[in-house]
């Protein structure tokens, strides 16, 4: 075997960008000449996993990450790891177990995905930002001194924020009819939404630092290159369909009611997600809040218009 980078969530929103970027850069970086890339997936038959398997140095490994132990990490000689956890109510139990295993196995550096920086507080009304706060607090404790880590706090992903706009445009192109345009965005608050692939590029750039000490214990705020308001999303839609949008529902979080209705978790906990966009509506999540270290590493470039065009091609 050889030392490895472990990518947890390799076929997910951010994980693909991590794997692709690491694969490309490892080919030209002498410092990592003997390293492997372990791309974790629950099914190697997944089309996304099969695409990753074609990349240089990538080994697709079938493994449920929540079952990873310190022995598993030692066996696979994991030196550095990326993790993009789920955000279910049991996230703390499962992600913290991974970090404890990494600490015990002697993993040197972990880059993890957090959530919107303005929300990561112990008293935030939505449950999952509190989970991220708790994990970051745990990693900051003296007991974890031997494990270096960086937490990326990306704003809402562009594809999620613009999915309803893309859906309306596609439906209109098919039958000439408009649905209600339901936007999480408020009408006027600017938000620096960020492309998930570019978050992956930044994570890979951190993992490739020969000495990550400068980024140890860092919590970096990560937004896209420009802000967008709900009103501007409506304008983009109108440009694509060639007529005015007839019915817009701003600050629409009705999909969370559907999530709560179908969950086996506490409905009160799931419904708390409705509070997550409030900081964006208050203007606290603009592109200007991006950490300067992110701009120096790999400044995001994909605009909302770029992402909407790509959504319309899929």
What confidence tens digit (pLDDT) does each residue in 121-162 have? 999 999 999 999 999 999 999 999 999 999 999 999 999 999
The whole-model pTM stands at 0.95
E-assigned strand segments in the chain: 4-8, 36-41, 58-62, 78-83, 109-113, 148-154, 181-182, 218-222, 248-249
Shared domain check, 208 and 181: no
pLDDT at 239 over 80: yes
Q: CA-to-CA distance for 65 and 302, rounded, in angstroms? A: 30
CA-angle at 228, arms to 13 and 244, nearest 5°: 105
pLDDT per position as a tens digit, 262-298 = 999 999 999 999 999 999 999 999 999 999 999 999 9
Per-residue pLDDT at 45: 84
**Token pair for 193:** 């939404």
Residue 46: predicted pLDDT: 86
Pair 74, 215 in one domain: yes
Say yes or no to pLDDT of 96 above 80.
yes
Asked whether the predicted pLDDT for residue 1 surpasses 80, the reply is no
204-221: pLDDT as tens digits: 999 999 999 999 999 999
Instruction: Kindly indicate the confidence band of residue 32, based on its pLDDT and cuts at 50, 70 and 90.
Output: confident
Confidence at residue 164, expressed as pLDDT on a 0 to 100 scale? 97
Taking a C-beta distance cutoff of 8 angstroms, is the pair 279, 203 a contact?
no
**Helix, strand, or coil (residue 228):** strand
Domain that holds residue 245: 158-191+225-285+301-313
* pLDDT tens-digit series, residues 41-82: 988 888 889 999 999 999 999 999 999 999 999 999 999 999
| End-to-end Cα, the chain, rounded Å | 39
Buried b (16+ CB within 10 A) or exposed e, 287-314: bebbbebbeebbebebbbeebbebbeee
Model pLDDT for residues 100-124, shown as the tens digit of each residue: 999 999 999 999 999 999 999 999 9
2 has pLDDT over 90: no
Region 225-247: mean pLDDT is: 97
Residue 106 and residue 38 share a domain? yes
Confidence of residue 163 (pLDDT cuts 50, 70, 90): very high
39 φ, ψ (degrees, to nearest 5): -95, 110
Token pair belonging to 10 = 């390799």
CATH number for position 240: 3.90.25
- Cα 177 from Cα 182, distance rounded (Å): 15
Distance CA 86, CA 84 (A): 7
Q: Whole-angstrom Cα distance, residue 238 to residue 259? A: 30
Residues 243 and 182 in one domain: yes
pLDDT one-digit tens code per residue, 121-130: 999 999 999 9
Same-domain check for residues 39 and 164: no
Residues 240, 255, single domain; the answer is yes
**% residues pLDDT > 90 (the chain):** 92
Helix (H, G, I), strand (E, B) or coil at 8: strand
Q: Are residues 90 and 50 in the same domain?
A: yes
204 and 113 within one domain: yes
- Total domains in the chain come to 2
Q: Report which of 96, 199, 206 is spatially closest to residue 157, judged by C-alpha positions.
A: 199
- Predicted confidence at residue 28, as pLDDT, reads 82
Are residues 76 and 125 both part of a single domain? yes
pLDDT tens by residue, 178-214 = 999 999 999 999 999 999 999 999 999 999 999 999 9
Q: Is 283 left (phi over 0), alpha (psi -120 to 50) or beta?
A: left
- Residue 165 and residue 91 in one domain: no
């Amino acid at each position: 075997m050889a030392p490895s980078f472990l990518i947890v969530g390799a076929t997910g929103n951010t994980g693909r960008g991590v794997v692709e970027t690491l694969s490309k850069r490892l080919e030209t970086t002498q410092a990592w000449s003997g390293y492997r890339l372990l791309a974790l997936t629950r099914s190697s038959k997944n089309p996304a996993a099969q695409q990753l398997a074609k990349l240089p140095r990538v080994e697709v490994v079938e493994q449920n990450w929540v079952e990873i132990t310190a022995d598993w990490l030692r066996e696979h000689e994991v030196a550095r790891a990326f993790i993009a956890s789920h955000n279910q109510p049991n996230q703390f139990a499962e992600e913290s177990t991974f970090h404890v295993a990494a600490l015990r196995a002697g993993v040197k550096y972990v880059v993890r995905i957090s959530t919107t920086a303005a929300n990561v507080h112990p008293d935030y009304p939505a449950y999952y930002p509190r989970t991220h706060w708790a994990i970051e607090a745990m990693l900051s404790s003296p007991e974890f001194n031997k494990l270096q880590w960086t937490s990326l706090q990306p704003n809402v992903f562009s594809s999620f924020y613009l999915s309803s706009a893309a859906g309306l445009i596609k439906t209109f192109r098919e039958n000439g009819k408009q649905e209600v345009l339901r936007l999480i965005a408020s009408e006027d608050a600017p938000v620096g939404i960020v492309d998930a692939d570019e978050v992956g590029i930044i994570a890979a750039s951190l993992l490739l630092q020969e000495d990550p000490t400068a980024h140890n214990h860092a919590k970096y705020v990560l937004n896209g290159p420009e802000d967008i308001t709900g009103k501007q999303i409506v304008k983009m839609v109108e440009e694509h369909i060639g007529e005015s949008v007839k019915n817009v529902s701003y600050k629409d979080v009705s999909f969370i009611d559907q999530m709560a209705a179908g969950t086996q978790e506490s409905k009160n906990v799931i419904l708390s997600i409705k509070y997550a966009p409030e900081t964006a509506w208050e203007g606290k999540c603009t592109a200007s809040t991006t950490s300067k270290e992110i701009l120096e590493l790999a400044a995001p470039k994909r605009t909302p218009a770029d992402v909407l065009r790509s959504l319309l091609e899929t």
